[in-house]
Amino acid sequence: MRILEFTVPPSYESVKLRGFLRGYCALSARLLTALKQVPGGIQVNGLHARVLQILHTGDCVRLCLPKDGKIPDPVPAPLAVVYEDADLLVINKQAGLPMYARPGHDASLCGAIGSYCRTTGERFAFRPVYRIDKDTTGLVVLAKNAYAAACLAGNIEKTYYAVCEGCMRGAGSITASIRVKPGHTVQREACDAGAGEQAVTHWRALADDGRFTLLACRLETGRTHQIRVHFSSSGHPLAGDDFYGGRTEWIGRQALHCGRMKLTHPVTGRELEIIGSFPDDFKELLKKMGVKNIQTLAAND
């Protein structure tokens, strides 16, 4: 069981417990309802409390988060852990590993987490805060409890590194909307505003060799295939991304890596910056471009 404790600040003097939990603690309505069903799940100063109770400055509010009832079915797969604590697990995902199992492809990050839980003795559900494509590599944040998941949703600043075809210099933003391509179920396309979902990608060129450009990308929105669609629609498909018009001579999958992230820890409030090392095929592509010290370049972006 994960126990969280909060001290009531002066700004919440004489506020009902419900308001404190929803406001100060950022508790979701769903989690609040679940905690109300747990004996002793919500306590004030060591005693069981009702959500209509009035709080006072200095009161200690304790939440007792129950352990998850079921862990993912284990399916062994390589798992590179780059950060872990009682609330978070951050993985540097390899290429070829989908988030969930699919027909003909049993290995998945979900199954790998099941194996990890079986090995370590931990017990938590598979809660990715966001998803990345099967052949996109890099950092994936998993929340070990519902509280961490609710706090982190939409609150992680991620930097993706991509290699696109052609020469791009300077910096800019792509704002084309994105929709499912007519006649397809997976493939997306850029479209006019109002015809799809709004999507915004900010990019900065880090290096180029005249044929390819290394980019740092940050997303305001998180649409499926967003970076891949945006650069393809701009005439600069990602290297290796034949699904969106890229050539595969130099790399056999889309050259896209979630390599850096910043977040505020949902429980401690500590600012975290996490770096995910580049995979070998990405580093080999950059070597052919003449890019050196890529990890240093990314860290200084």
Q: Determine contact, residues 132/93, Cβ cutoff 8 Å.
A: yes
Give the catalytic positions in this structure: 133
Cα gap 160→121, rounded to integer Å? 33
In this structure, what token pair is assigned to residue 6?
């909060």
Q: Determine contact, residues 196/181, Cβ cutoff 8 Å.
A: no
Q: Determine contact, residues 239/252, Cβ cutoff 8 Å.
A: no
Residue 223 pairs in a beta bridge with: none
In this structure, what token pair is assigned to residue 100?
């969930």
In this structure, what token pair is assigned to residue 59?
């009161």
Cα gap 119→69, rounded to integer Å? 17
Rg (CA), the chain: 22
In 3D, which of 276, 275, 297 has the Cα closest to residue 286? 297
In this structure, what token pair is assigned to residue 102?
């699919």
